[in-house]
Amino acid sequence: MVDEIKLIDRIKHGDRRALDTLVKAYYQNVFAYFYYHTQNRETAMDLTQEVFVKVVASIETYENRGRFRSWLFTICANHLRNHWKYGSTHDEYELEEESEEDMAVSWQNITDSTDLLNALSQISTDQRDCVILKYYYGFTSREIAEMLHIKEPTVKARIRYGLSKIAKLLRGDETGGKEQ
């Protein structure tokens, strides 16, 4: 495990080798985040590069409070929002009202992740962000709430709705209701 505080201190002093270590340590993680969202290798690579440029440019403002990883993914989440907002078009799905009964979908019988990316693309960006940050990166709801500047119950609700919809899609219970 890299000593992040020392590494970041060295980057703050302009150490290129420290930067090399940091980028190599986190590149695949950041890339996966954007790949999950965009499902396009080239776009994910471009976004990853832009995020690392932002990280280096703003490294002096990082105050070693809290985990670097949380700070990094806050930048990723903001960058992704900017990307959707100004950079490209994407389909947005409305949050559907579902009863607790509708949402009680068991995941235990779902073992194949082949269609997971496709199912993820059919839920809203906000839900997808919360679900990915929790289940791929292991952030807690509280950490996600801080990163996305939203309340913890909102994160939990987004995860619940998102998971319910993904599970239904994976089981073939619904087609996803994609808006045209």
Count the Cβ atoms, other than its own, within 10 Å of residue 109. Answer: 9
* 150 is a contact residue toward other proteins (CB under 8 A): no
Structure token pair of residue 1: 């495990």
User: Distance (Å, rounded) from C-alpha 36 to C-alpha 60?
Assistant: 29
Q: Which is nearer to other proteins, 136 or 153 (CB)?
A: 136
CB 136 within 8 A of CB 36: yes
φ/ψ region of 65 (left if φ > 0, alpha if ψ in -120 to 50, else beta) reads beta
* 43 is a contact residue toward other proteins (CB under 8 A): no
* 62 is a contact residue toward other proteins (CB under 8 A): yes
* 84 is a contact residue toward other proteins (CB under 8 A): no
Q: Give me the long-range contacts of 135-141 (CB less than 8 A, separation at least 24).
A: 136/32, 136/33, 136/36, 137/29, 137/33, 137/69, 137/73, 139/70, 139/73
Least distance (Å) between residue 155 CB and other proteins: 11
* 151 is a contact residue toward other proteins (CB under 8 A): no
User: Distance (Å, rounded) from C-alpha 48 to C-alpha 72?
Assistant: 11
Structure token pair of residue 163: 């998971």
Binders of other proteins in range 101-120 (CB under 8 A): 106-108, 110-111, 113, 116-117
Least distance (Å) between residue 52 CB and other proteins: 5
Structure token pair of residue 105: 């979908």
Segment interacting with other proteins (CB under 8 A) among 1-9, 20-28, 93-101, 122-130: 20-28
* 172 is a contact residue toward other proteins (CB under 8 A): no
* 82 is a contact residue toward other proteins (CB under 8 A): yes
Contact residues toward other proteins (CB under 8 A) are: 11-16, 19-20, 23-24, 27-28, 31-32, 35-36, 41, 45, 48-50, 52-63, 66, 70-71, 74-75, 77-79, 82-83, 85-87, 106-108, 110-111, 113, 116-117, 132, 135-136, 138, 140-142, 146-147, 149, 163
